[in-house]
A and B are shown apart, each in its own frame.
Chain A
Amino acid sequence: MAAKERFTLGRFLLSYGFVLTLIAIVVLCSIASPAFFTFKNALFILHASAPTMILATGVAFVLMTGKMDISIGSTAYLSAGVGIMLMVHAHMSPLPACLIIFAIGALLGAVNGFIVVVLRVNPLITTLGTFFTFRGLALQITNSLTISIPSDLGEFGSIRVGPFFLDTLIAGVVLAAYHLVHTRTVFGRYVMAVGNGVDVAQKVGVPVDRTTFLTFVLAGLMASVGGVLTMAQVGSISPSLGQGYEFTAIALLVIGGVSLFGGEGTILPGIVLGALTLTIIQSGLNFVGASPFVYPLVRGGIIFVAMYADSLKNAVARKVRLIPE
């Protein structure tokens, strides 16, 4: 019988550190600004983090396979850009335009997948290239304009179902679906197997190439969904749409427990935890009236701690594996 893992403070902090940090941030902000700790504000925080949660969910599987995708921001912008031009210039109604946006997002993800899997180009290099290419195309298509979205799509961004914003519920459904795929399906197990070791996965019959390709397609699809939700929230598409999304998504995935080294992590509650941490920090700084110069420092500090904790966790795990029973 395997011995129970001994409780150590270090292990506990590594595993639950961010939950404790999140609780501490909420408490501090609530003391500094009583308006922060309200149900209404909690709903708004969920609403504000919905697009980021969806974007991060899409990238999660890519990271879990040990790969990287830094083009999701540009994918979001290009797919949304095509959609907005169809709505504004071709007078297409929002629903079919959104379906086209999602199809384009998946297609752009497929382009990444093709380059990585078939052409065997390093994923970071691949998606660095598409990061620039997709954004350049989008700027060309939209002529770098900030374009207001049709009012019915704008209204969509404010619709509530009961007390919850509709986009929060959509994010919930996406997260739940991904969680089920990750934990209950063969594909989910394939993703983790590839992340734990490509060679071993191949030997045991995991379709490594197909799995990797599909993770990129899903990342592109979710990027386009996130782009639509962002557009609906702010009421317009601007050339800065998607800028920095990739790094935010990766940061919150790492905060939420997904390893940059692959083979480790969960959809729930990891992504929710990560997204809420970043949004609560941003919101909290707004509420307490922090100096504008403090924002990047705090944000960067949190992301650094998250990355460091992740690398520590991996270092600890490796040492544990090396110690004989």
Chain B
Amino acid sequence: MPKLRILCSVVSAVLMLTAGQALAAPKPKVIRVGVSYNEKIHSQIQAWTDEMEKFGKAYGQQHNVSFKWIVNVANGDPSTQASNIQDLINQHVDVIVARAEDAAAIGASIDAAHKAHIPFITFDRQSSTVQPDVHVGGDSFAQGITAANAAVELLKKNGVQGKAIELLGDLKDMNAVLRSQAWHQVEAASKAWTTVAQVPTDWKPENFYTGTANALAAHPEANVIFAASDFAFDGVLKALKEANRLAPAGDPRHVWMFTCDVQPQALEPLTKGYIDVAASYEAYAQADALVTVIAELLAGQKVQGTHLVPGRLFTPQNTAAMPAVWSRDYKD
């Protein structure tokens, strides 16, 4: 019986110690984040999502917070996105993060969230109407400027007067509009090229292919291509190949190519010298910035209205050694 008494005493002591510790340690604050994606049709979005969760966990351990992500997807329809965001409002999330399908239409959702006293963060795509609490994303204008300035340097170095085909993105996407503005701003200042064709692609790979082929046929003198994004670059390369214009730098048939994003499809053409310069879109850094902004905003700290993550300049020479390239991890 004395042995049993000792055993019970030890067990009680351990239990009391554990309970005491549990009571003493503050529970992490749970932050419920409602994330509204306009669509989930790019690997970049998966990269964001995975990094948000990973960085969120690490950040949470350091700052005693816990992120709970509530995600919905609008399938490319602005009214579906508005409805999805209303669902998040009705669930009383702590903050809403939205990647807008339509830069103008998202304003109504921002209004609705504010009326419900829920902070609203636009992610990747800015609102062109009502402004959110914070915007976090890539600096698309700077991306375009980076690519365009690199184009000026390369073309002048090689004594080339450029005749450019511009492959525009979806005109409802502010990123596409800003990149185009940057391209034309540098064009006007430097006179290093003349844009001879503007091809709207609506971000559709088929349009990258047929648009490039048509533009090359209409302007056989074209020797430069600027692509607002290189996510569908297989089609561009095919069109160049069929026109017998696919050749790396150094070949007389080479078409100077400048792109934005450094998506998975662009890695191989970059390393092989088909793409001369690409200004990256830093998915990992943007996701990290978003998590930090969310935590700081909800902690009542003063947060800047816009957080733009700059891109890096990728060339055939430096791509292989460049660290933390999200598109390498999501290449299929």
**Residue positions of A touching B, CB distance < 8 A:** 33, 35-36, 38, 40-41, 44, 48, 88, 132, 135, 139, 143-149, 154, 157-158, 230, 233-236, 238-241, 243, 282-283, 286-287, 289, 291-293, 295
Return the contact of B171 from the options A144, A289, A293 (Cβ within 8 A): A293
List 8 A-B residue pairs with CB atoms under 8 Å apart, sorted by A's residue number: A143-B43, A146-B42, A146-B332, A234-B205, A234-B232, A241-B205, A283-B214, A286-B215
Q: Which residue of B lies closest to A231 (CB)?
A: B205
Task: Please judge, given known A-B contacts A35-B217, A144-B46, A286-B215, whether A234 and B168 are in contact too, CB under 8 Å.
Answer: no
Q: In the assembly, what is the distance between CA of A41 and CA of B231, in Å?
A: 26
- Interface status of B117 (Cβ within 8 A of chain A): no
Within 8 A of A (CB), among B246-280: 263-265
Tally of chain B residues near chain A (CB < 8 A): 43
Q: Which residues of B contact A36 (CB under 8 A)?
A: 218
Return the contact of B332 from the options A40, A145, A286, A291 (Cβ within 8 A): A145
A238 touches B209 (CB 8 A): no
B200 touches A292 (CB 8 A): yes
Q: Which residue of B lies closest to A35 (CB)?
A: B218
A48 touches B210 (CB 8 A): yes
Q: Which residues of B contact A238 (CB under 8 A)?
A: 41, 205, 231-232
B217 touches A144 (CB 8 A): no
Q: Which residues of A contact B218 (CB under 8 A)?
A: 33, 35-36, 286-287, 289
B171 touches A292 (CB 8 A): yes
* Minimum C-beta distance from A130 to chain B (A): 14
Q: Which residue of A lies closest to B208 (CB)?
A: A234
* Minimum C-beta distance from B213 to chain A (A): 6
Q: Which residue of A lies closest to B264 (CB)?
A: A146
B41 touches A240 (CB 8 A): yes
> What does the 1/0 interface line of B25-61 toward A look like (CB < 8 Å)?
0000000000000011111011000000000000000
Q: In the assembly, what is the distance between CA of A265 and CA of B90, in Å?
A: 49
The 7 residue pairs across chains A and B that have the minimum distance between CB atoms: A239-B41, A235-B234, A286-B214, A292-B200, A234-B235, A236-B234, A287-B218
Q: Which residue of B lies closest to A139 (CB)?
A: B40
Return the contact of A289 from the options B196, B265, B332 (Cβ within 8 A): B196
Q: Which residue of A lies closest to B220 (CB)?
A: A35
Q: Which residues of B contact A40 (CB under 8 A)?
A: 217
Q: In the assembly, what is the distance between CA of A147 and CA of B210, in Å?
A: 19
Q: Which residues of A contact B76 (CB under 8 A)?
A: 243
Q: Which residue of B lies closest to A160 (CB)?
A: B242
Q: In the assembly, what is the distance between CA of A239 and CA of B200, in Å?
A: 19
